[in-house]
Structure formats: C-alpha cells, structure tokens
Structure 1
Amino acid sequence: MSSTLRRRLAAVCCAVGVAGAMVAAAPTAGAATTSDFRGVNWADPRDNYASDAVVPSGLSTTDSYATTFAKASAIIGQFRAKVGANTVRLPVNPTSVNGPFWQSYTAAVDAATAKGFKVILGYWESPTAKDGRIDDQSTFNAMWQRITTRFAFYPNVYFEPMNEPFGYSSQEWTGIATSWLSTYWYVPRSRVVVDGTGYADDVKSVCADDRLAGTHLALHFYGFWHSTWTDPQQWLADFDQRLGTCSSRTILDEFGASMTTGLNYNGPINGSNEIAYLQTVTNRLRELHMGSVYWPGLRTGDTYSLTELHGSGTVLSLSVTNASGADLLARAWGR
C-alpha cells in the first residue's frame, strides 16, 4: 500500500456509514450517462504528488517531444489492446506545465487523442503540505492558463481543476470550482470534471450546486476504506450514499484494489474485503451505465497497478497483472 493510500485510509475510513444510504436509481433507457468513459490512470511512480515535474511511469523529463510521443503511443495503444480502455487520466502540476517538461509532456496528450482516446488532465498538489488545498494560486492559475490555451479546443481533452480537495469545506470547494469555470469560460462545461468534496468521496454537494451545472463530476471509492467489510450489501449501500442521485454526471475516476497479490476476483469472496468491494462496485457501475477510470492502469511499483511495463526506449509493451481484475473492469464497462 502506498503512502497516499495509507493517508487516505486514516482520513476517510468509516467517514461515511451505511445508515441512511441513498440508493441511486439505474438510468432509464436513453438517459444521459457517462458510460463512454472507459479509462485508466497513468501515474507517476510517486503517486502524482511531486514538487518537481510529475512524470507518468515510462516517460522522462529528458525525452524530446518525438520520443515522448512514441512512448505514449505505445503505452496508450496497449491500454486499448490489453484492457479495452478509451480514456486515460494524466496528472499535471505547476512544475510540469509551467516549466520545460511541458514541451514534451504535451506529446502524451497528443498521442492519446491521436488514437481516439479521451484525456482527463487533473491537478495534484505537491507533497510539501498535502493539505488538500491549492499550493500557490498564482502558479496554479498560470498552469491552467497554459493547459487550456493549448487544449481547450481539443474535443477529447477534459479538465479536472483539482484532485481530492479535502482541505476545503463543501462551500469553499464549490466556490473555487465556480471561479475556475468563470476564469476559463472558453472551456465547454461538458469537458470539466469537478471532484466531489473531501477525498472526492462524495459528489452530492457539488451535484446540487446550480453554478456547476453542465459539468461532469468525479467520485473516488476504495476498498481499503473498510478493511473488514465482506458483505456486498455494505459496499453497495456505501457507494450509493456517496453518489446520491448523480450517476448520470459522475465518473468514478479513481477506484482500485490489489492486482499483484494473486487474488481471484472472479471467485468466491472467501473473507476478502477487496473481492467483495471490486465485485460490487464494478457490478454497480455496469447497472448505472456509469463511466470509470481505474487506479492505476500503470504505475510502476504499485500493487494496485493493472498492468506492468516492459521494454526499453520507445519499444514498450504492457502485460496485465491480474486477468480476473481486468475481467471485472471489462464488466463495469458493459462488456
């Protein structure tokens, strides 16, 4: 378990009980859904919290645009071939965007969109404070100005103003998100992904704010939050309570479980909270026709990583770390 997973566990575990759970109704035929987001996170080995440039596994700050494009093309192609993804979520921070790495990092976005992928660009704070708040407003603004100037008119690029804004109250966070929409007014709202409150673990208040109408919402939901739960009904009630009635706008853009420890997610639960969790959440995503982005599709050294990177230079390939986990992800995506 990474340090960030342990941090989240301490802050989130048991924060939301199952009492009074609100069961979200499955969408009716023809209703709006987010089912066209079938994605994976491509993360820095450090879990995307970096003071320097954030660099997804396999890339390098020393690579040229052409080399980055070639590497990203290979990895993105493998995300599609090996797990059936059509969306990738990439991290950004002020150093990676406002500094020299941006000249080559843009190639990862270009490579993904060239293959028809949707790309979600999300801001991660640095590890210095890790307080769930924007580190520096001026560099944050400069970062988003540069990102949106480059990609606002790319129809497959989406913008997530901040990952897990747990340092803000719900009122503060909806105000910040509203200000972001006003500042970057030229970005279509349908291509903005607003995190839920806390560790993006509840979307009801952002969903209810009319000022954020037309945006997508991001929910995060992890099995380690309740390490003793082996009853699928507990997981179902907890998930639905966090989602409320907002499934038509929401993307579950972080969820995951151990993939390199040999668990059989197609088998019986046998006292495993992770199997109970992943079976339940993927089934619920399928029922709701709700989009999702697995954490992580690729992150070197992470036991949750769905794939492992092989090769060198620009000759790169991926192998699936857990076939049963990949099966459940495919089920969540309706296949």
Structure 2
Amino acid sequence: MFHHRRMQLLCAVSAFLLLVTVVATQVVSTATVHAATNTSQFRGVNWADPRDNYANDPVVPSGLSTSDSYSTTYAKASTIISGFANNLGANTVRLPINPYTVNGSFWNSYTGAIDVATNKGFKVILGYWEGTGSSKDGYVDNMTSFWAMWSTVTTKYANNSQVYFEPMNEPYGYSQSAWANLAAQWISTYPSIPKNRIFVSGTGWNDNVTSVCADSRLNGTYLSLHHYGFWNTSQTSYSGWVSDLENRIGSCASRTVVDEWGAPMTTGLDYNGAINGNYFIAYVQADTDTFRSLGLGSVYWPGLRTGDTYSMETLNGSGTNLSLSDNNASGVVRLKYAFGLISSPGGTTYYKLVNRNSGKVLDVVGASTADGANVDQWADNGGANQQWSLVSTGSYYKLVNRGSGKVLDVASASTADGGNVDQWTDNGGTNQQWSEVNSGGYITLVNRNSGKDLEVSGYSTADGGNVDQWTSNGGSNQQWTLVQVS
C-alpha cells in the first residue's frame, strides 16, 4: 500500500445501528484451490514497518529492530502473534520482505518472526515490496537481487507448509500481460513450491484479479486482491461498495484472498452504526459482509503498524515486555464477523449516561482512544465517545466506551475524594468495576475499589466539566440516567 495510510479523517458518528441486508449474488466458480471459509483458511492481519513497507533498506515490522538477535526477535514476535490470535482471532500474518531484508545480515534475525508464527500454528504470507528507489514505479527494482532473495526464502521455507509466497506486492508498473509473464516465470523458477502456496497479486495496485485468474499458467494459485474505501470517497452506498468489490473479483471468488483492506481505527468511527453518508462505514460494512457471504479469506491492513491510523492494534510496552490493545471495538467486531468467528456484527447495546444536574452526557475527551484519556461531561452530539456498553462481571459492571473500546477507570486505583476518572485498557482491576444503585428513579455508579460515586465535579453544568469520584452525598451531580441508543 502507499501513502494514503497517513490520512486523517474527521467525521460525525451516528448513534443508531444499521440493519444490513447482504447483497451477494456473485456466482462462485470451481478452482484448484479454494479460499473456502475464513474459519478454516485465512483469517489474517498485516504486520508492517512503521515507515510503510516500501523501503531502500530492510523492512522492520513495528516492535522489531535490526539490532535484535534471533532469540530477541522470536520473543517479541511471540507476544505480538499471540496478541493477534487472542485479540482478533487471527490465524494468518502477512509479512514484508525485500532484498535488503533477506540478502543481508538481518535475515538471520527476521526468520525468528516467521518461525514463531508457524510454531504457533499461523500461516505466514511473505510478500515482496519494491524499494522507493529514485522513483517508486511499481517494478522490481533489481532482478538479480530479486531472484537471489527468493532463492534464499524458498530454500529455507519450501518444506514448511505454513509459509506462503507472494512474488510481488502491487505490481502497478507492469501491464497485465507483463505482470502475468513475471508471475509465470516465478512459478517455473521454483517448481518445488506447490501452486497452492503461491499468491499471485492482482494487476495494478492488486486492485483486480480477473486477468490473472484467466491466465492458465497461473491456475492453482491463490489470487491476492487489495480493496480500500479511500479509492472512491464519493461512494457512500453500501450496495455500491458490494458491486465494486464483486466486479474486481469477477468469477474468481474461490481463489481470491483479500490480503489488504482497511479503514481508520483511531478516529472513533462506529463501523456497526448507521452509514449516514460516511464512505468508510459503508465500505467496511459492505466488505466484511461480502467476505463473509463469499467465503473470502482476508488479511486486514494493518493488524499492527505504529503511527498508522488504520492499525487495528496498538503496541504497548518495550523490549520483549510487549502487549497489544484494540483501537476500535466496532472494527474488531467487523473483523471477527468477516473471519466467521461471530454470527452477527450486532448485538451490543449502548447507552448515553446523562447527568441529572447538568443534562450533559459522560464523554471521553476528544474521542481519544488512548489509555489515560480524561472523561468529562459534554452536550450530547451522538458521538461514539459518548456511548457506553455495560458488561457484567458478576455483581459489577465494566463500562466500555464505544469509540475506544476502553473501560471507565478510576486513575491509579485512587480511593480519595476527587480521584480522577479516565479510560484505560481493561485489566480486570476493581477500579474498573462499578455497581449500579437505584436512587429515586436515577442511578448512582459506585466504584468497587473505592466505594465512591461517579460524579461531575463541583456541580458543573458546563461542557468539559470534569468527572471524578466522591463520597456519596445524594447530590444530583452524582445521579445519572441510562438512555439506550442501540
């Protein structure tokens, strides 16, 4: 992919769930290999270099370093791969390579990431990215280095059935026939590689697979498709996006894996909400429904790439003490639905918490998705940062913010009056658990750790009035109404 991953998006998010009718009339053809169901095949994420994978030096996925030893790389990757599995239900990771990565000293370390993934039962797709060169042009930069790279990679992993090979990512410099010729040459150069472990990219920016699908020399391979919402910012129709995707696949659904698709996950968009003219929401709903309907394997861009607004996960920690956290709860739900892991993308009920004194709602400041982001009150604007689900932990509840996926938290587990309230990744702490107490037609929310009530500080009625905890005093600033929004 290219520089669009740095896009920023400001939008209003609607509060109502859209009931989606899947429009999928595509006839699936029989082929030598099958994307089959997501559950049994490719439920994947890309793990990418923070600079993007187009580089004139080794590509280094987020969290790794060229100075890492094999054992350090293995340890870091072990945590990250486990995070992809535990948080997202993934069983596949797509990793970048280039000649600088493979033909130099970094390869001995980088193989640690590949090895730990396959040892954990993951499929690994190794895809070649060209460098930026004097002008990034969509061609293989140096054919001698290219073939040397692939000889090294195939020699090491030809006998590992969990490793798949993608000769080139986004071959947009080549004509349809020239690209098909190069893909066919790759296949003939490495006859020991089974065709059902080869991903032939679609033409252009991997944006259409119909021509490579029709080339008999490529029969038996998987076909790699990319599909992005930013390609048509005026397309806000769900059915329009379904048609767009199906037209790029043609009759080749049984061989196609969408190994790049993605949308902003750090801007608070609700991908289960009403489309309301937002092309990203329309696109994500259409794509995930169509993946599910046609049984397409998919590999989200990116599962992890530091600094990318599209990243599904955030990397926390340092050294080998790492963890992953989700950036957008609705995005994770949509991903799992596409993977076939849940039966419906809906099902969560969200509420606004309206303060009795001020009439304003509980709000995460700036629609932040960060740990420690402050919680205040604000006039109701329909934003996902003002909507909360109540998740039972037995006798208590976690309040999960719709925009961030993080939970309502008393900072630093304070037990003092005035202890600040923020949001934080769910860690099971009692400072993140609340009981609901009826109070004359309203409720008070009592923190399990401190025993104090959630309140708007100083009886403020202003936008931005801070929310903290305080000893129960029966004040209207400690009383709330739950208003269901979906």
Instruction: Tell me the TM-score normalized by structure 1.
Output: 0.92
Give CA deviations for 1:147-181 in whole Å, capped at 9, x if unaligned.
00000110000000000000000000000000000
1:113 maps to: 118
Give CA deviations for 1:215-241 in whole Å, capped at 9, x if unaligned.
000000000001111111110111111
2:62 is equivalent to residue 67 of structure 1: no
| Alignment check: 8 A CA contact 1:298 1:308 kept | yes
1:197 maps to: 203
2:333 is equivalent to residue 327 of structure 1: yes
CA distance in structure 2 between the partners assigned to 1:64 and 1:122 by the alignment? 22
1:33 maps to: 35
For structure 2, the residue ranges without an aligned partner over 5 or more in a row are 8-23, 342-486
Cα 1:227–1:281 change in 2 (3 A) is: same
CA distance in structure 1 between the partners assigned to 2:5 and 2:273 by the alignment? 25
- The AA in structure 2 aligned to 1:287 is S
2:305 is equivalent to residue 299 of structure 1: yes
Helix, strand or coil at the partner of 1:219 = strand
CA distance in structure 2 between the partners assigned to 1:301 and 1:259 by the alignment? 11
Give CA deviations for 1:79-123 in whole Å, capped at 9, x if unaligned.
000000000000000000000000000000000001000000000
CA distance in structure 1 between the partners assigned to 2:144 and 2:302 by the alignment? 30
Match of 1:228 among 223, 230, 234: 234
2:95 maps to: 90
CA distance in structure 1 between the partners assigned to 2:132 and 2:167 by the alignment? 18
Query: Which stretches of structure 1, 4 residues or longer, exceed 6 Å deviation after superposition?
Result: none
The percent of aligned pairs where both chains have the same amino acid is 58
Give CA deviations for 1:246-296 in whole Å, capped at 9, x if unaligned.
011010000000000000011111111000000000000000011000000
Match of 2:257 among 243, 251, 257: 251
CA distance in structure 2 between the partners assigned to 1:4 and 1:122 by the alignment? 20
2:352 maps to: none
Q: What CA RMSD, in Å, does the superposition of the two structures yield over aligned residues?
A: 1.7
2:362 maps to: none
Cα 1:170–1:6 change in 2 (3 A) is: farther
Give CA deviations for 1:122-141 in whole Å, capped at 9, x if unaligned.
00000122111000000000
Give CA deviations for 1:287-310 in whole Å, capped at 9, x if unaligned.
001100000000000000000000
**CA positional deviation for 1:32:** 3.6
- The AA in structure 1 aligned to 2:237 is D
| Alignment check: 8 A CA contact 1:56 1:299 kept | yes
| Alignment check: 8 A CA contact 1:24 1:246 kept | no
2:132 maps to: 127
**CA positional deviation for 1:6:** 7.8
| Alignment check: 8 A CA contact 1:68 1:104 kept | yes
1:3 maps to: 3
The 5 A counterparts of 1:34-183 are: 34=36, 35=38, 36-128=41-133, 129-183=135-189
- The AA in structure 1 aligned to 2:267 is T
Helix, strand or coil at the partner of 2:247 = helix
1:18 maps to: none
CA distance in structure 2 between the partners assigned to 1:172 and 1:251 by the alignment? 22
**CA positional deviation for 1:58:** 0.2
- The AA in structure 1 aligned to 2:313 is T
Helix, strand or coil at the partner of 2:203 = coil
CA distance in structure 2 between the partners assigned to 1:81 and 1:170 by the alignment? 40
The one of the two structures with greater contact order (alpha-carbon pairs below 8 A, sep at least 6) is: 1
**CA positional deviation for 1:3:** 2.1
CA distance in structure 2 between the partners assigned to 1:24 and 1:46 by the alignment? 37
**CA positional deviation for 1:23:** 5.6
**CA positional deviation for 1:26:** 5.1
2:245 is equivalent to residue 239 of structure 1: yes
**CA positional deviation for 1:2:** 6.6
CA distance in structure 2 between the partners assigned to 1:157 and 1:118 by the alignment? 6
Match of 1:209 among 189, 193, 215: 215
Helix, strand or coil at the partner of 1:267 = coil
**CA positional deviation for 1:24:** 2.4
| Alignment check: 8 A CA contact 2:6 2:308 kept | no
**CA positional deviation for 1:33:** 3.0
CA distance in structure 2 between the partners assigned to 1:172 and 1:82 by the alignment? 41
CA distance in structure 1 between the partners assigned to 2:306 and 2:6 by the alignment? 18
Cα 1:167–1:109 change in 2 (3 A) is: same
**Bigger Rg over Cα:** 2
Instruction: Tell me the TM-score normalized by structure 2.
Output: 0.64
CA distance in structure 2 between the partners assigned to 1:27 and 1:197 by the alignment? 20
CA distance in structure 1 between the partners assigned to 2:34 and 2:327 by the alignment? 33
| Alignment check: 8 A CA contact 2:5 2:309 kept | no
For structure 1, the residue ranges without an aligned partner over 5 or more in a row are 8-21
- The AA in structure 2 aligned to 1:94 is P
Helix, strand or coil at the partner of 1:199 = helix
Helix, strand or coil at the partner of 1:218 = strand
Helix, strand or coil at the partner of 1:311 = strand
1:19 maps to: none
CA distance in structure 1 between the partners assigned to 2:119 and 2:229 by the alignment? 34
Query: Whose helix fraction is larger, Structure 1's or Structure 2's?
Result: 1
| Alignment check: 8 A CA contact 1:23 1:237 kept | no
Report which stretch shifted further, 94-103 or 231-240.
231-240
| Alignment check: 8 A CA contact 1:33 1:290 kept | yes
- The AA in structure 1 aligned to 2:74 is F
Cα 1:221–1:182 change in 2 (3 A) is: same
| Alignment check: 8 A CA contact 2:29 2:251 kept | no
CA distance in structure 2 between the partners assigned to 1:189 and 1:229 by the alignment? 36
| Alignment check: 8 A CA contact 2:35 2:42 kept | no
